Amino acid sequence: MNAGPSTSPAQAALLAAWREDEQHHHEGWDFSHLAGRLTEDEPPWDFDEECRACLAKSGHVLDMGTGGGERLASLREALPPDTVATEGWAPNLPVARARLAALSIPVEDYDPDAEPCSPMPFGNGRFDLVMNRHEGLDPGELTRVLVPGGVFLTQQVAADDFRESEDVFGLAPRYPDTTLEVVATQLVRAGFRIEASGTWRGTYRFHDVGALVDYLKLVPWQVPEDFCVDRYAETLLGLHASGPAQGNPVRFTKSRFWLRARVNSTPRIASQGIS
């Protein structure tokens, strides 16, 4: 949906600026460069504090989907010597390995959403705590790599996160099963008991469309695969006209859930991934 020949000089300038945001180089999983351009609500729980509470009782820890290792490194004082991480997005692997090498934390290449599904690269009963923030999961594999009584702690981006994308970009949710109810049910079937959980919805506020473009480069599953400024110029100009041009941010739903689950036993079941 390219902007047509009637594009004004002001619109052309906006598109040129958004193309620069589109080309921004990202390293790891860090949105700090959007400070002031993106503001967002935060859940009522503190996931890092939940992690610290579990880490205090754990000696063998896995952090799934560590991104660039930023969050895990921020927990360094609470981590036991036997801490391991995984990351499945290729651009993040060298970033995470470089950052976490200083803490002697190895980072394994593992993508729970890969097709075909593959086992986690760890032995049975390898960990007593698995932390997972915004990463896919396979309940059967979690049961396998955790010891009986081991804890799985996760915060997930829920299926209705960015739900306005369906109207704006014509994209239905890519992970419709990522809900607390579905994930909790799958974990219980795999041999866990749910100890605590919660759901929450808030708002992302993009104060300029360029910030939205930059953000979407890091979360490409929220837009069609062919998303780029030139192809969606008309849509982006429309968002600008109805939002920032009127002094209002572009708003999208932010949706999260979390849960803490403990292994009752280690039954063998078929792996069933949850994204």
The predicted-structure confidence for 22-71, as pLDDT tens digits, reads as follows 998 776 667 888 999 999 999 999 999 999 999 999 999 999 999 999 99
Q: Range with the lowest mean pLDDT among 79-88, 96-105, 168-177?
A: 168-177
Terminal Cα distance for the chain, rounded: 30
> 74 vs 78, 111, 141, CA distance in Å?
9, 23, 27
Contact 69, 107 (CB under 8 A): yes
Residue 138 and residue 98: Cα distance in Å, rounded?
27
Helix (H, G, I), strand (E, B) or coil at 187: helix
Q: What is the pLDDT of residue 194?
A: 98
Of residues 103 and 268, the one with the higher pLDDT is: 103
Q: Tell me what the mean pLDDT of segment 89-96 comes to.
A: 92
pLDDT level of residue 268 (50, 70, 90 thresholds): very low
Average pLDDT, the chain: 92
Percent of the chain with pLDDT over 70: 93
What pLDDT, on a 0 to 100 scale, did the predictor assign at position 7? 81
**Phi, psi torsion values for 16, nearest 5 degrees:** -65, -40
DSSP state of 109: E
Structure tokens at 2: 């390219």
Q: In which order are the strands placed within the sheet that holds 82-87?
A: 38-40, 192-206, 250-263, 146-157, 127-133, 60-64, 82-87, 107-109
Domains in the chain (CATH in brackets) are 15-263 (3.40.50.150)
pLDDT of residue 219: 87
Distances in whole angstroms, Cα of residue 8 to Cα of each of 5, 15, 20, 55, 73: 8, 11, 19, 56, 47
| CA 150/CA 226 separation, integer angstroms | 42
Beta strand spans in 113-249 (E): 127-133, 146-157, 192-206
Task: Answer left, alpha or beta for residue 112, where phi above 0 means left and psi between -120 and 50 means alpha.
Answer: alpha
Lowest mean pLDDT among 110-124, 227-241, 242-256: 110-124
CA 265 vs CA 129, 143, 192: distances in Å: 15, 8, 7
Count CB-CB contacts under 10 A for residue 103: 15
- CB neighbours (10 Å) of residue 235? 17
Q: What is the pLDDT of residue 62?
A: 98
Q: Is 159 helix (H, G, I), strand (E, B) or coil?
A: coil
In the structure encoding, which two tokens stand for residue 162, read together?
């960015």
